[in-house]
A and B are shown apart, each in its own frame.
Chain A
Amino acid sequence: MVERELEVITEIHRIVTDELEWKGAVEPAQDLVRDLQLDSLGLTVLAVGLENRFRIRLSEEDAQGVRTVGDLARLVARRVAAPADAVSEVGP
């Protein structure tokens, strides 16, 4: 699981760098909104990028508990491990 989370963090770094003009490092403790300065569009771009890379669906309910890069990495890793959980969910 930890290995998968590291893979997700690498992908988060790629997305925010390539698509959202972020120039700094990406660490698990960073707050997505406060530290990475992601607005609603940025969060959507990030979610879509992760869905495409890992072939999963992230729901609005999922987002309620996600504040940091680490939270997001754990969520994505869980979805990859159990994709059936998310099949009926609809994204925001």
Chain B
Amino acid sequence: MLSASGQDRSPFIRAVGRALPPHYASQEQLIAAFRELWATRHFNLERLEDLHRAVQVGGRHLALPLEAYPPLVTFQQRNDAWIRAATELSETVVRQSLDAAGLAPSDVDHVFFVTVTGISTPSIDARLANRVRFREDIKRTPLFGLGCVAGAAGVARAADYLRGFPTHTALLVAVELCSLTLQREDLSIPNIIASGLFGDGAACAVLRGAEVPGAKGPRVVASRAVFYPDTERIMGWDVVDSGFKVVLSAKVPGLVKDHIRGNVDGFLAQHGLTRGDIRHWVAHTGGPKVLEAFEEALELPAASLERSWASLREVGNLSSASVLFVLGETLEQVDARPGDWGVMMAMGPGFGAEMVLLRW
């Protein structure tokens, strides 16, 4: 995207760090831990185990050891644990990302912090500032509630900012500790599926404005948000006394199938491109049905979403952090050539989607 003076104002993605909490449980360990709880209400436990296995997640990293979860009963207990773990994981991932970019905390002008799994005031970005010592004029934008779309939307909003401040550096920090939202007493099927799918993790994208000397990496050429009217009950939280109770509809894959092709084609056409021009697809991991819907609706060549599938298998759906995990792995593992086009895409509560056009 060019400025009035003809200069390319597209910001650069310099690095994307990823961090996982130290505690890991395989899917079978988690099923064993849940089984006794499920038996208090459900008769056919094999069906529930199959639901857990059907999401194709091998295991999850957890903010706390498994045995530390049962004593957490109230919203306050869960959220206090979330604040502690989210602050620690944020610090880890920000330091890692800045190191990878060859930058110091004092180089950062703006922090965008996204999450949907806990609340905090001051927000985690403020607690982070006290730990890593950003400059005193650091600008902070905490964003709560975008859910899974916030990884792509956060990159888009950070890039919007850097078009206005092309000499600046921005961080997008996404921290999601889904395990600390789990309502163990909610034995509904949507909650049981969610407890099989979502994991904990954090990611941090380092973005630099077009006029930063020596800035490099793929550029964020453009982005486009899409809002789907009257879909509020597709996904989200019902906030209850004990915390966040998941709202999850089976209509998500159908929405992807119905809309994403038209959304992507329209977005690319604005830039004189078609799907055939895109070499790198960076998709939110969602779940198996969402990834299949992406592949089918966009008629993607085999293995186009392999990194998304691998991430889903390895760590589960990390909500907003997931698409950033896939982006980071794309940056590090893919032999991208100058001029290659890429599309990052995610969907989340609203319901809505965000697409980001990348160019190497």
When distances are taken between beta carbons in the complex, the residues of chain A under 8 Å from B42 are 48, 51-52
Residue of A42, A45, A48, A55 with highest tally of chain B CB at under 10 A? A48
A45 to B189, CA, bound (A): 6
When distances are taken between beta carbons in the complex, the residues of chain B under 8 Å from A41 are 189-190, 193, 248-250
When distances are taken between beta carbons in the complex, the residues of chain A under 8 Å from B250 are 39-42
Query: Is A74 interfacial (CB-CB < 8 Å)?
Result: no
Within 8 A of A (CB), among B40-65: 41-44, 46-48, 50-51
Instruction: Point out residues on B near A: beta carbons under 8 Å.
Output: 41-44, 46-48, 50-51, 188-190, 193, 233, 248-251, 254
Within 8 A of B (CB), among A13-58: 19, 21, 39-42, 44-45, 47-48, 51-52, 55-58
Closest to A91 in B: B47
Instruction: Point out residues on A near B: beta carbons under 8 Å.
Output: 19, 21, 39-42, 44-45, 47-48, 51-52, 55-58, 90-92
B47 touches A51 (CB 8 A): yes
Residue of B44, B50, B233, B254 with highest tally of chain A CB at under 10 A? B44
A90 touches B43 (CB 8 A): no
B123 CB to closest chain A CB (Å) equals 34
When distances are taken between beta carbons in the complex, the residues of chain B under 8 Å from A90 are 46-47, 50
Knowing that A41-B189, A45-B189, A57-B47 are A-B contacts, what are 20 other residue pairs whose CB atoms are under 8 Å apart, sorted by A's residue number? A41-B190, A41-B250, A42-B250, A44-B47, A44-B51, A45-B188, A45-B190, A47-B47, A48-B42, A48-B47, A48-B189, A51-B42, A52-B41, A52-B44, A56-B43, A57-B43, A58-B44, A90-B50, A91-B46, A92-B47
A52 to B44, CA, bound (A): 7
Residue of B42, B43, B193, B233 with highest tally of chain A CB at under 10 A? B43
A36 to B294, CA, bound (A): 27
When distances are taken between beta carbons in the complex, the residues of chain A under 8 Å from B254 are 39
When distances are taken between beta carbons in the complex, the residues of chain A under 8 Å from B249 are 39, 41
Residue of B47, B48, B250, B254 with highest tally of chain A CB at under 10 A? B47
A22 CB to closest chain B CB (Å) equals 13
Q: Which residue from B43, B46, B189, B233 sits with its C-beta under 8 Å from A44?
A: B189
A48 touches B190 (CB 8 A): no
Residue of B46, B51, B250 with highest tally of chain A CB at under 10 A? B250
B43 touches A52 (CB 8 A): yes
A42 to B188, CA, bound (A): 11
When distances are taken between beta carbons in the complex, the residues of chain A under 8 Å from B193 are 41
A47 to B44, CA, bound (A): 10
Residue of A40, A47, A56, A91 with highest tally of chain B CB at under 10 A? A91
When distances are taken between beta carbons in the complex, the residues of chain A under 8 Å from B190 are 41, 45
A57 to B49, CA, bound (A): 14
A52 to B43, CA, bound (A): 5
B247 CB to closest chain A CB (Å) equals 11
B50 touches A55 (CB 8 A): no
A90 to B193, CA, bound (A): 18
B50 CB to closest chain A CB (Å) equals 7
When distances are taken between beta carbons in the complex, the residues of chain A under 8 Å from B51 are 44
